[in-house]
Amino acid sequence: MFFDKILIFSDRISELLWIKAIRKSFFALFPFILFGSLALVVTNFPVVSYQQAMLREFGTNWKVFAELLTNLTFGLLGLLLSGSVGYFTAILRTEKVQGINPGLAPLISMLSFLIIAVNLQFHPAEEWLRVDTLNQSNILLAIMSSIISAELFVFLLTVQKKKGWQWKHNPDADLKNAFEVLLPTFLTLIAFMLLRGALIAADIPDINQFLSEVLTSLFRHLHNPLLTGVCFTVLSQILWFFGLHGNNILFPIINGLFVDNLHANIAAVATDGVPPHIITKPFMDSFTMLGGSGATFCLLIAIFLSYRHKNSLRLAKLSLLPSLFNVNELVTFGLPIVLNPIFIIPFILVPVIMLLIAYLATAIGFMPRSITDVQWTIPIFLSGYKTTMSWHGVMIQAINLSVGTALYFPFLRLHHIKADNDFQKEYDRLVHLVQHQPTTKKLKLLKRRDILGQIACSLADEMEIALAKGEFFLVYQPLVNNQDQITCFEALLRWKHTRFGLIPPSLFITIAEESGQIHSIGLKVLEMATQQLAQWQQQGAKNLRVSINLSPLQLKNPQLPFQLTRLLQQTEIHPAAIDLEITEGLELGTDEITDRVITALSDLGLKLAIDDFGMGHTSLLYLRRYHFSKVKIDGSLIRNIDQEKHCQDIVSALVHLAVSQNFTVVAEYIERLQQQQILGSLGCHEYQGYLISEPLAADDCWEFIQKH
């Protein structure tokens, strides 16, 4: 119940345009974050001999050079994020709006962020762009300022368009664009200048510093060390959750309290006294931040143990090395944890519980107090030992790791459920897109670069194995004549996918056509259908036919007539017992190969039918030239034939024309007796639809035949 509520809440949040834009931005910046994490580990690798060797090899400046990589990634994270959040906000906001070009939005967002973030106390002006104003400590400011500026910019563009303040008759498109963004750009930047001016007037020259001062002032009134530790952890985690660098903002507390405590402990030991403090900086680093703030090492272990979700697993593998050295940006931004409501509870709770466990263990004397400075990049267990100089420190870390992993587990499950739900929604969108396409339009699903394209590509990749594993099978829908006798079964292909269940044929056939796998799948269909018909004929249904769907693309395969000849020989079926239905959806090729293949099929004695006739581009004359002898009237015309006069008129004209040209006429989508009666009176020969039967599993067909 509680978890359901979190899921619903998280669903609602992730539907928000801004949250979508933020998530997309974090993913877009993923390469930089990965790069920065690795650079951070390389520079701060906590092995003395390594550091000495690097110093020997490359001189004292090696760290400055190596830190360049970190400074250009994490160091500019605020700036980079402002650009990408501005970009995605503007793109999502104008997705369905025409005639607006938000291309400048990322740059405007970056400028707006700089207007708010640069530290005006630095002189000369070049110092404004110091890395510490543009780095990850300013993420929240970057996100907020870029959302506001992108929204404002798009809003102004829209107003301008509505009012018709556009330069209509300029032949130079670039110049026209430049003039169109002029006013919105000016106004957006001026709005941010005014905002900054107002903040300065309100005596807030630096927002981060202001926040830091307000928050640290809260701690002045706390005198209980445990309570201070808990409050610090909760606050720092909340800041991290919002993408703010908790340790930077709460630096005065870390420095003034936890570092001082350590020094007091060291001084006490030096004079043979008892260390007075439990909570020190190394204590906090080693026992509450396993793998970085939020103790995300536990989350990684939970991901490895659950081993279910490919994406999480991939991320966990990538982040394992940096996390070992307590660099966890990949996890916090990649999973992501930042601004993800599902993770806020364990993200705050786990470090607090770890703090309590470690505090208790020290208070009862199980674990010694910390008396040495330990670098924050020292890996788990080693840090536990170094901090306490005792194996008991390692044991407490192990306990904390287990407790933290167990606490992260249910929330990770929830995260996976949500990811699965989101994926299913995208899949449903893909199905909707395919089912509502105008028949002639080529979708080019595999060429799409969005999530729908990715799903289509992964389905294309899976097809071959699915075919081998038997996930594709045929169902059969009966056709009856005017005497209500079963004359034929149409073979309809199904794909029972392990994740999505039954995939609609319109989707997988489109994908198979685009990927070229339609030929191997089509051959499999021909094999299965002919073998099935042979079995029914052997069982006694001598005159039964089977109707098989072919994609127009299969008619471009010169091997098709040979494949069919072989199948007819193997199964000893008479060619006249097989109808080949070619759908009108895709245009029939007029090339020489198609011409030759169709002629060869007709020469074999197979009957050619045009499926979904009436909606596409083929005329009866054209069909006659190509040896077609049967038409299946499109279901959309039949569906309302008993309710709409004009449908009846169109079908009536089609049937008359087809009958006069000696075509056999089939009507599909018969769901009501009235439809069949009308079509009978118009001169149709065969009927197919739910009124007669839905498509049946092969095993059920024989029973159906016997009943009729």
- Where does residue 381 fall: left (phi above 0), alpha (psi -120 to 50 degrees), or beta otherwise? left
Of these, 571, 583, 618, 676, which contacts ligand C2E (CB under 6 A)? 583
**Which residues ranging from 517 to 536 are in contact with ligand C2E (CB under 6 A)?**
525
505 near ligand C2E, rule: CB under 6 A: yes
CB 11, CB 425: distance < 8 Å: no
* Nearest distance, CB of residue 634 and Mg ion, angstroms: 7
Q: Are strands 630-633 and 545-550 parallel, antiparallel or unpaired?
A: unpaired
As measured in angstroms, the least distance from the Cβ of 109 to Mg ion is 51
Please, what's the b/e burial string for 663-685 (b: 16 or more CB within 10 A of its CB; e: otherwise)? bbbbbbbbeeeebbebbeebebb
DSSP result, 136-187: GGGHHHHHHHHHHHHHHHHHHHHHHHHHT-S-TT-S-HHHHHHHHTHHHHHH
* Comparison of 332 and 551: residue with beta carbon closer to ligand C2E: 551
Residue 118 sits at φ, ψ, to 5 deg, of -60, 145
User: Is 265 or 549 the residue whose CB approaches ligand C2E more closely?
Assistant: 549
Q: Whole-number minimum distance, CB 472 to ligand C2E, in Å?
A: 9
Q: How far is the CB of 566 from ligand C2E (least distance, A)?
A: 19
C-alpha dihedral (384, 386, 389, 395), degrees to nearest 10: 20
Residue of 551, 557, 602, 675 interacting with ligand C2E (CB under 6 A):
551
Indicate whether 514 belongs to the interface with ligand C2E (CB under 6 A).
no
Q: Which amino acid is at 359?
A: Y
Please give the structure tokens belonging to residue 684.
């149709």
Rounded Cα distance, 469 and 499, in Å: 15
Stretch that binds ligand C2E, among 148-156, 206-214, 499-507, 677-685 (CB under 6 A): 499-507
CB within 8 A of 499, min separation 6: which ones?
none
Shorter beta-carbon distance to Mg ion: residue 180 or 611: 611
Nearest to 320 by CA among 379, 398, 387, 277: 379
| Residue 506 binding target from Mg ion, ligand C2E, none, CB below 5 to 8 Å by type | ligand C2E
Over the window 492 to 531, marking each residue x when it contacts Mg ion by CB under 5 A and - when it does not, the resulting string is: ----------------------------------------
Q: Which two tokens stand for residue 390?
A: 């005792």
Sign of CA dihedral 209, 215, 219, 225: negative
Within 10 angstroms of residue 66's Cβ, the number of other Cβ atoms is 17
Map residues 63-102 to x or -, x wherever contact with ligand C2E holds by CB under 6 A: ----------------------------------------
Q: Which is nearer to ligand C2E, 368 or 504 (CB)?
A: 504
Q: Among 285, 579, 584, 668, which residue sits at the site for ligand C2E (rule: CB under 6 A)?
A: 668
The reply on whether position 506 binds ligand C2E by CB under 6 A is yes
Say if CB 296 and CB 331 are below 8 A apart. yes
Residue labelled with tokens 């993408």: 243
Residue 671 binds ligand C2E (CB under 6 A): yes
Q: Single out the segment in contact with ligand C2E by CB under 6 A; choices: 14-22, 38-46, 215-223, 669-677.
A: 669-677
Binding-site size for ligand C2E (CB under 6 A) equals 24
Task: Report DSSP state, residue 632.
Answer: E
The one segment of 198-206, 263-271, 544-552, 599-607 that binds ligand C2E by CB under 6 A: 544-552
Rounded-to-integer distance, Cα 6 and Cα 341, Å = 8
Which residue in the set 549, 551, 594, 676 belongs to the binding site for Mg ion (CB under 5 A)? 549
Between residue 567 and residue 626, which ones bind Mg ion under the rule CB under 5 A? 581, 611-612
| Stretch of residues binding ligand C2E (CB under 6 A), selected from 5-13, 188-196, 289-297, 665-673 | 665-673
- Select from 285, 329, 514, 611 the one that contacts ligand C2E (CB under 6 A): 611
* 687 lies in the site for ligand C2E, by CB under 6 A: no
Other Cβ atoms within 10 Å of 496 Cβ, number: 13
Residues making contact with Mg ion (CB under 5 A) = 549, 581, 611-612
Residues making contact with ligand C2E (CB under 6 A) = 477, 492-493, 504-506, 509, 525, 549-551, 581, 583, 611-612, 635, 668-671, 688-690, 695
